Amino acid sequence: MMKESIIATDKHGDLHRLTRLYAALSPASPRQIPSPPFPTSHWLSCGSNQSKLFDLLIQPEDQITQDEIEVGHDWKLAFWKRVVLSIEAGLRELNNPEEEIDERILKFYISLQNQSNKRVRELRRYYYGPLRDPKLWSRIEILENRESIGHGTTGLKSWGASICLANYLILNPHLIENKSILELGSGTGLLGILVHQLDPSKEVHLTDCNPLVLDRLRHNAHLNRAGENLKIDHLDWNTPQISNLKPKFSKPQVVLAADVIYDPDLVLALVDTICYFLQESFDCRSASAMVCSTVRDPETWELFLSVCS
């Protein structure tokens, strides 16, 4: 019966859906995951099912205790607490003293309990690839701050618009295929590193102006084993001059920017910078810019559109 239960779950894609949610640390609270795809207490009462769940969700690097960085600590703690409580409920219903909680699940849950949740930074993993085959997923690791603002900058945390634009380019890779890329306000580097992974043969130039952000960019590029075609440089929008960038990369074919429209005082400089590099492109008629933003202040967004026009 338990074997049939496993087969039925896989047939409907529940475990695949759960794997995707776990990898994305989504939704905001694991308690909000419906059942299915979250397993029932009856299904979890079987030891082989517990082992299957652990093997699907836990990567080898998750089992290594890290002193300075963590991967979605609070979310995973809540998720595995729910798993343990569900297993205990299922075992009570089963009333079989020979069945118990999988030792690996208990050890991992206890290790999460023992970790501090006060760390400023965390290592987040972003996955993309065929939805039903996690073995084929590509991964991006980003060291970022947990707080929205740190050290006087918002660039040490990945923002929603960069994820949206990254998803758009994953679905439409032809937009950047065989094209040199310049990203403005790269922040943690999530978008730029994704673009580099999609086409490592073309130059992708990531820029920002804050020294701490640039250091984080270089760290994340190294973390993802970026190739020599991924470049990182300082660029202040108020002085977008050719000398600020290597001459070879002064003529991008695509300019990218995500979540950079938040300060009305910077809008004119941003638009001027975009126009400057599009005009400097080898073929300004085919050069393009893609800007993705969360509209937090409609007036600032309208100002951006007005300046663009």
| CATH code, 244 | 3.40.50.150
Check residue 250 and give its pLDDT: 61
Q: Do 170 and 113 share a structural domain?
A: no
Can you give the pTM of this predicted structure? 0.73
204 and 274 both lie in a single domain: yes
Residue 49 has pLDDT above 80, yes or no: yes
Among 119, 138, 173, the domain-final residue is: 119
Nearest one of 203, 204, 293, 275 to 237, comparing CA atoms? 275
Contact by Cβ (8 Å): 27, 21? yes
199 shares its domain with 294? yes
pLDDT digits over 54-65, tens only? 998 987 656 544
Q: How many residues does the chain have?
A: 309
| Structural domain total, the chain | 2
Domain that residue 214 falls in: 160-308
Which band of pLDDT confidence, cut at 50, 70 and 90, is reported for residue 70?
low
188 and 81 part of one domain: no
Q: What is the mean pLDDT of residues 224-248?
A: 78
Supply 290's token pair.
Answer: 């893609």
Residue 84's CB: how many other CB atoms inside 10 A?
18
